[in-house]
Chain A
Amino acid sequence: MKAAVIVFPGSNCDRDVRVALEAVDGVAVDMVWHGEGDFEAADLIVLPGGFSYGDYLRSGAMAAHSPVMKEVVARAGKGVPVLGICNGFQVLTEAGLLPGALLANAGLNFVCRDVHVRVENSQTLFASGLEQGAVLRIPVAHHDGQYFADDETLAELADNEQIAFRYAAGETPGPANPNGSVQDIAGIYNATKTVLGLMPHPERAADPRHGGSDGQAIFAGLAQALG
């Protein structure tokens, strides 16, 4: 599998996700600079975490309009899988590839800690390494992670099984839902399940030395599904 990791000015988890992807056998990674209107074909496009363009207007808003995103949107339209993590999720909603929006955390503070998420739909490319209902322990680190969508959109998400992960109770201190997301949503798919956005950082739970490697299953499953 070949993955393209898009690097915006201000991305800061680009290297981390690259390391996690490359730890899977047979995965090659290209780093793609935001200014590139075109880039080599890839089996997977990853939008990493960070503070693209400083996130000064709204998180992800400016990155959503960068030259490379036109190409990402076009390829997503052709079915190329796109994974957005944290800031990448914010970019995907701002770019219209995923419904809804990410608001400031309900607690108004940045939150960095382990959370638990339950796999809500394992019948997708991204979840091929995961079991339905399994609970993963993965860190979050964000200021704007409160998922919001209107009732109509939420109903559609539910009907179409687009909810990927929900925050779940676990042994970590603090509330299970770290940011006040509606319906405890931690990650969602687009209608065709080829685009996934999630707030937690699987690349930070990718190695036993991180204190857990639940996140690595996502990368490993993807690699297997995409060959």
Chain B
Amino acid sequence: MMKNTPGPEITLEMIAEHGLTDGEYERVVNALGRAPNLTELGIFSVMWSEHCSYKSTRIWLKTLPTEAPWVIQGPGENAGIVDIGDGQAAVFKMESHNHPSFIEPREGAATGVGGIMRDVFTMGARPVANLNALRFGAPDHARTRHLVSGVVSGIGGYGNCVGVPTVGGETEFHAGYNGNILVNAMTVGIAPADRIFYSAAAGIGNPVIYVGSKTGRDGIHGATMASAEFDDESEEKRPTVQIGDPFTEKLLIEACLELMATDAIVAIQDMGAAGLTCSSVEMADKGGVGIELDLDAVPQRESAMTAYEIMLSESQERMLMVLRPGAEDMARAVFEKWELDFAVIGRLTDDGRLTVRQGDVEVATIPVRPLVDDAPIYDRPWQPTPAPAALADEGPAVAPMTALSTLMACPDLASRRWIWEQYDHMVMADTVERPGGDAAVVRVHGTAKALAMSTDCTPRYCRAAPEMGGAQAVVETWRNLVAVGARPLAITDCLNFGNPERPEIMGQLVGCIKGMAQACEALDYPVVSGNVSLYNETNGQAIPPTPAIGGLGLIADLDKRANIALKRDGDLVALVGEGIGHLGQTLYRRELFGAEDGPVPALDPAWERRVGEAVLRLIETGRLDTCHDISDGGLLVAATEMALAGGRGLALEAPEEGDIAGWAFGEDQARYLIAAPPAVMDGLLADLQAADIPACRIGQVSGDALTLEGHGHISLGELRAAHEATLPRLMGAA
């Protein structure tokens, strides 16, 4: 075949437009032994983008603990996998779709959900739950309402149609996200542990198959956009947004799982960021083989698409597979039944190259190894974040019950019902703990066990003290899982930061990762998958550091679990753990004094583990069914959440001495509230005492108000109204 490198000469502008530095371009020329053509330049640029190559974070990500006896697959594949017993595995991952969601919130968020689900079913798992960690700008910022409404309808519209319940997540508002919202989506799936599918291509000569939707000119440069800083011009980049088709995704799940029940598939990979390029290169690289593609065979939605466009398109709902020889007809029949495109578009070769043809023309030929291995890796300079100053003057005292009302209605603590009611959180009929509690609980279909899941991060801690903040995010998911009675197994993460080329931002990233690593280590709670989203800045203004963590745990017996709702009048309520009334960096300071100041609360992951395991034992023995961890907002807020969830009042005893605000609203870590009938509580407290865990009775369930001895009471009705009204009001629905 005639060698042909069509297209224009590569200019300096083209190199810059592709986000490659001079040094990086030089590496391209070295890898090829010649100048690239435009298609090849495009391929290198997406493969070496931050999104695909992790060039700024790779050396730091390596420091995270990734192993445990129950880990089947750690980072490096489409998703992480843990053993959940009985021959079953849980497959899960979290991913960001921040930039696309800012530009077109509905489609951006929808395609984020679609993408993360594909990562999970690619591995042979049926998706069983979705979660979403959302961060928006200030509630009164001009774009916030539009963005919230678009993102929520996009997430709901996609997951609802596919029929996977959206069971949890988190939602925060802060001016630090005015120019860069965060949309992090997580999917959990379940697979037979002995039938997991990987992406390493194998078998020279084996056919390469394309299935799913046709390829159009969607999202070309999406991957590089996801790595480029915003400026005011970026609204112009709009047409790169992709449109999702959840109906096709549903068909794709069913078709893939049907084919996965046979022995036809050798390797499979979804086409995510950088579409055909990234999927084919990764499959070939992992298998140590070459791959040859014929672009004329690629199903196309539009006419006259160039090789560049086909290779870089980010059309959604597409997968690439390597089949066993001879399995094509059977596989084709499955995909045709589900009315999806199916095409043989290439084969595996032994020359270690990615060779792309369009008709008779060879449009790209690149050795695979350098495309992956020669990707630049940077040890970026970083500056440790300076320790926060001491807490400023406390300001005028606020009556605790007044502060409570304000906090229960503040955007970060108000009920998220307006959001989760737009998500089908019950489809598949296995949701046993709906949104609103500490962790969602989803039954493993057909068994008496369940998975618990939660996403968490407290960016105000991360900004004040990245190491503690990174650790705290991990610990909070762990605590949320424990609070429902689950054994925490592992986490996935989504590391959202600003521009890593700035040493102070890199310092936040390094700090957060260090903290995460310490917490994971201490809790035996490894990282099995994750995602990095950098350059979340607009006009030089970076987002607060936000390492969102998604935790997964296992409940062995569904009948031995807990939730936050108070269940019986007369139950005693006890505080497990202890605190000093730490007010630095709390929501209390922020919401009542407008101050984001002071040091972060102390955190000791080893101590967290001792306290949490003691609580978990109480739940696992079937004696404790009511539990809530204390986090944002502190003790009084946690107690109120329990009262509202159960529709029962609570009378709390105030401490005899000390600072009432610190007692009520301090965010000291490693604490839980538990409730049980008096006779049972005696035994629980005795067990805790025997384990050397501080615990003391602080109140009793009764009436229909929240009462704090000596400080008055507020009726549940009033608290509920304040708690429920905020989001609908913000969204103009009430």
Chain B residues 380-434 with CB under 8 Å of chain A are 417, 420-429, 431-432, 434
Pick 30 A–B contacts, CB within 8 A, sort by A.
A10-B161, A10-B247, A12-B162, A12-B250, A12-B427, A13-B429, A16-B428, A19-B429, A20-B429, A51-B160, A51-B161, A51-B163, A51-B250, A53-B247, A54-B245, A54-B246, A54-B247, A56-B247, A109-B153, A109-B421, A110-B157, A110-B422, A112-B160, A112-B420, A171-B647, A173-B724, A174-B421, A204-B426, A209-B432, A211-B432
The interface on chain B, measured as residues whose beta carbon lies within 8 A of the other chain's beta carbons, has a size of 35
Asked if A9 is an interface residue, CB under 8 A from chain B, the answer is yes
Query: Which 10 pairs of residues, A with B, have the shortest CB-CB distance?
Result: A12-B163, A54-B247, A16-B429, A51-B161, A141-B424, A110-B422, A112-B424, A209-B432, A204-B426, A109-B422
Contact B426 A9 (CB under 8 A): no
Interface centre among A9, A111, A113 (most CB of B within 10 A): A9
> How distant is the Cα of A54 from the Cα of B213 in the complex, in angstroms?
14
A112 touching B425 in the complex, CB below 8 Å, given contacts A9-B247, A54-B245, A209-B432: yes
> How distant is the Cα of A13 from the Cα of B432 in the complex, in angstroms?
17
Contact of A112 among B251, B426, B429, B724 (CB under 8 A): B426
Extra contacts besides A51-B247, A110-B156 (4): CB < 8 Å? A16-B427, A109-B421, A110-B424, A113-B421
Asked if A50 is an interface residue, CB under 8 A from chain B, the answer is yes
Contact of B429 among A53, A56, A210 (CB under 8 A): A210
Asked if A206 is an interface residue, CB under 8 A from chain B, the answer is yes
Asked if B607 is an interface residue, CB under 8 A from chain A, the answer is no
Contact B426 A139 (CB under 8 A): yes
> How distant is the Cα of A173 from the Cα of B724 in the complex, in angstroms?
9
Asked if B339 is an interface residue, CB under 8 A from chain A, the answer is yes
Asked if A107 is an interface residue, CB under 8 A from chain B, the answer is yes
List residues of chain A with CB within 8 A of the CB of B363: none
Chain A residues 99-158 with CB under 8 Å of chain B are 107, 109-113, 139, 141, 143
A-B CB pair tally, cutoff 8 Å: 93
Chain B residues 241-265 with CB under 8 Å of chain A are 245-248, 250-251
A112 touching B245 in the complex, CB below 8 Å, given contacts A54-B161, A173-B724: no
Asked if A2 is an interface residue, CB under 8 A from chain B, the answer is no
Asked if B733 is an interface residue, CB under 8 A from chain A, the answer is yes
> How distant is the Cα of A205 from the Cα of B632 in the complex, in angstroms?
33
Asked if A201 is an interface residue, CB under 8 A from chain B, the answer is yes
Contact B246 A51 (CB under 8 A): yes
Chain B residues 417-470 with CB under 8 Å of chain A are 417, 420-429, 431-432, 434, 443
A112 touching B432 in the complex, CB below 8 Å, given contacts A9-B247, A12-B427: no
List residues of chain A with CB within 8 A of the CB of B425: 112
Q: What is the chain A residue whose CB lies nearest that of B160?
A: A110
Return A76 CB to nearest CB of chain B, in Å: 26
A211 touching B434 in the complex, CB below 8 Å, given contacts A16-B427, A110-B156, A111-B421: yes
Asked if A184 is an interface residue, CB under 8 A from chain B, the answer is no
Cβ contacts B130-157/A at 8 Å (1 or 0 each): 0000000000000000000000010011
Q: What is the chain A residue whose CB lies nearest that of B720?
A: A173
Interface centre among B161, B248, B338, B443 (most CB of A within 10 A): B161
Asked if B558 is an interface residue, CB under 8 A from chain A, the answer is yes
Q: What is the chain B residue whose CB lies nearest that of A206?
A: B429
> How distant is the Cα of A6 from the Cα of B226 in the complex, in angstroms?
42
Contact of B428 among A10, A15, A55, A139 (CB under 8 A): A15
Asked if A94 is an interface residue, CB under 8 A from chain B, the answer is no
Q: What is the chain B residue whose CB lies nearest that of A13?
A: B427
Contact B733 A141 (CB under 8 A): no
> How distant is the Cα of A123 from the Cα of B421 in the complex, in angstroms?
34
Which A residues lie at the B interface, using CB under 8 A?
9-10, 12-13, 15-16, 19-20, 49-51, 53-56, 107, 109-113, 139, 141, 143, 171, 173-174, 201, 203-204, 206-207, 209-211
Contact A141 B427 (CB under 8 A): yes
List residues of chain B with CB within 8 A of the CB of A211: 432, 434
Contact A209 B427 (CB under 8 A): no
Contact of B338 among A9, A50, A55, A171 (CB under 8 A): A9
A173 touching B417 in the complex, CB below 8 Å, given contacts A10-B250, A139-B426, A206-B429: yes
> How distant is the Cα of A20 from the Cα of B430 in the complex, in angstroms?
12
Return B734 CB to nearest CB of chain A, in Å: 10
List residues of chain B with CB within 8 A of the CB of A15: 428-429
Q: What is the chain A residue whose CB lies nearest that of B425?
A: A112
Contact B423 A112 (CB under 8 A): yes
> How distant is the Cα of A15 from the Cα of B421 in the complex, in angstroms?
22
List residues of chain B with CB within 8 A of the CB of A207: 429
Return A12 CB to nearest CB of chain B, in Å: 3
List residues of chain A with CB within 8 A of the CB of B422: 109-112
> How distant is the Cα of A12 from the Cα of B443 in the complex, in angstroms?
17
List residues of chain A with CB within 8 A of the CB of B250: 9-10, 12, 51
> How distant is the Cα of A135 from the Cα of B574 in the complex, in angstroms?
37
> How distant is the Cα of A113 from the Cα of B417 in the complex, in angstroms?
10
Return A179 CB to nearest CB of chain B, in Å: 12
Q: What is the chain A residue whose CB lies nearest that of B429?
A: A16
Contact B161 A209 (CB under 8 A): no
Return A212 CB to nearest CB of chain B, in Å: 11
List residues of chain B with CB within 8 A of the CB of A203: 429
List residues of chain A with CB within 8 A of the CB of B434: 211
Q: What is the chain A residue whose CB lies nearest that of B435?
A: A112
List residues of chain B with CB within 8 A of the CB of A112: 160, 420-426
> How distant is the Cα of A16 from the Cα of B338 in the complex, in angstroms?
21
List residues of chain B with CB within 8 A of the CB of A56: 247
Q: What is the chain B residue whose CB lies nearest that of A54?
A: B247
Return B227 CB to nearest CB of chain A, in Å: 32
List residues of chain B with CB within 8 A of the CB of A109: 153, 421-422, 733
> How distant is the Cα of A110 from the Cα of B246 in the complex, in angstroms?
15
List residues of chain B with CB within 8 A of the CB of A139: 426
> How distant is the Cα of A49 from the Cα of B429 in the complex, in angstroms?
12
List residues of chain A with CB within 8 A of the CB of B429: 13, 15-16, 19-20, 203-204, 206-207, 210
Q: What is the chain B residue whose CB lies nearest that of A113?
A: B421
> How distant is the Cα of A204 from the Cα of B430 in the complex, in angstroms?
9
> How distant is the Cα of A143 from the Cα of B156 in the complex, in angstroms?
10
A13 touching B421 in the complex, CB below 8 Å, given contacts A112-B426, A209-B432: no
> How distant is the Cα of A139 from the Cα of B435 in the complex, in angstroms?
14
> How distant is the Cα of A53 from the Cα of B162 in the complex, in angstroms?
11
Q: What is the chain A residue whose CB lies nearest that of B559?
A: A209
A13 touching B157 in the complex, CB below 8 Å, given contacts A54-B246, A141-B424, A204-B429: no
Cβ contacts B672-699/A at 8 Å (1 or 0 each): 0000000000000000000000000000
Contact B724 A201 (CB under 8 A): no
List residues of chain A with CB within 8 A of the CB of B251: 9-10
Contact A209 B426 (CB under 8 A): no
A210 touching B724 in the complex, CB below 8 Å, given contacts A12-B250, A12-B427, A110-B156: no
List residues of chain A with CB within 8 A of the CB of B432: 209-211
Q: What is the chain A residue whose CB lies nearest that of B162?
A: A12
List residues of chain A with CB within 8 A of the CB of B339: 9
